[in-house]
């Protein structure tokens, strides 16, 4: 039976990859990669560099397919995302069926950790539920941008006796539950940190672990404009941005 590996390869630095992930890389015959367009060619290049650096078997192959369009203007956010998952599932299913032998080993290289704000596991489960292609799969954890962010800022992720809340920029803009002291925010395209207490501390990072890494920290009221300008400049230059930040609210 075919076996798939969903491999977390870390947040960008090739040295973030774990020994377990390297072992999984060396089990794979065919890697499946989604091409997100010319502006994200460097993400594909980084995946290829990881393979070149860590795989001993020269016979592996990389198969690429274009990412389907996602409707980012839809009023129903969840429905639009589910539709995008279905489109991706059909592409992956075809790639697995056509490119992987019945007893072959396939791999998906996932930035950060496959369990944190990534769609690969959900999509593989959709394919498995369809029962048109038989396979088993394994998930290999990786160093997420959250872990890399706080390490680069030389911080523990929470203060003593306090919990951590992980959310998205879209949800942050809608407001936080009461009593939240430490918030990790991902996928913030709208600079939602501007909506919080200006006395909160923010620890922001983009392209963490890569040569393009940017780190900014300080009170929100003092650095919000600096972050927004840096974010806009970086996005204009590269065509994309991956950023994450930690908010710490004043202790009462």
pLDDT above 70: residue 143: yes
Side-chain-side CA neighbours of residue 45 (13 Å): 7
Query: Distance between CA atoms of 182 and 12, rounded to whole angstroms?
Result: 24
Q: Where in the chain is the domain with CATH 3.30.950.10?
A: 146-248
Q: What is the pLDDT of residue 73?
A: 63
Q: What is the CATH number of domain 146-248?
A: 3.30.950.10
User: 188 with 208: CB under 8 angstroms?
Assistant: no
Q: Give the Å distances, CA to CA, from 142 to 11, 108, 146, 210.
A: 8, 13, 11, 16
Q: What percent of the chain has pLDDT over 90?
A: 75
Q: What is the DSSP letter of 69?
A: P
CATH of 2-143, one of 1.10.3210.10, 3.40.50.300, 3.40.640.10, 3.40.1010.10: 3.40.1010.10
Q: What is the pLDDT of residue 75?
A: 61
Burial letters 27-54, b for 16+ CB under 10 A, else e: bbbbbbbbeeeeebebbbebbeebbeee
Each residue's pLDDT tens digit, 74-128: 666 778 788 888 999 999 999 999 999 999 999 999 999 999 989 999 999 999 9
Q: By C-alpha distance, which of 91, 93, 112 is closest to 184?
A: 112
Global pTM?
0.90
**Mean pLDDT computed over 182-203:** 96
pLDDT above 90: residue 42: no
């Amino acid at each position: 039976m075919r076996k798939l590996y969903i491999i977390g390869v870390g947040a960008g630095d090739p040295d973030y990859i774990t020994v377990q992930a390297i072992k999984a890389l060396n089990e794979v015959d065919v890697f499946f990669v989604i091409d997100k367009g010319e502006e994200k060619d460097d993400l594909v290049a980084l995946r290829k560099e990881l393979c070149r650096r860590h795989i001993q078997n020269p016979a592996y192959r990389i198969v690429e397919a274009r990412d389907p369009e996602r409707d980012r203007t839809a009023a129903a956010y969840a429905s639009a995302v589910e539709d995008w998952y279905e489109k991706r599932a059909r592409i992956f299913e075809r790639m697995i069926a056509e490119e992987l032998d019945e007893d072959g080993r396939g791999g998906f290289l996932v930035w950060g950790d496959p369990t944190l704000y990534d769609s690969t596991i959900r999509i593989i489960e959709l394919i498995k539920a369809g029962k048109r292609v038989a396979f088993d799969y394994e998930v290999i954890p990786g160093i997420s941008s959250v872990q890399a962010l706080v390490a680069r800022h030389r911080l523990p992720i929470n203060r003593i006796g306090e919990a951590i809340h992980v959310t998205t920029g879209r949800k942050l803009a809608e407001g936080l539950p009461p009593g939240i002291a430490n918030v990790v925010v991902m996928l913030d395209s709208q600079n939602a940190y501007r909506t919080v207490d200006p006395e909160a501390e923010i620890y922001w990072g983009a392209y963490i672990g890569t040569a393009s890494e940017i780190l900014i920290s300080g009170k929100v009221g003092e650095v919000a404009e600096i972050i927004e300008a840096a974010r806009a400049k970086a996005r204009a230059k590269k065509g994309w941005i991956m950023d994450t930040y930690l908010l710490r609210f004043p202790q009462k």
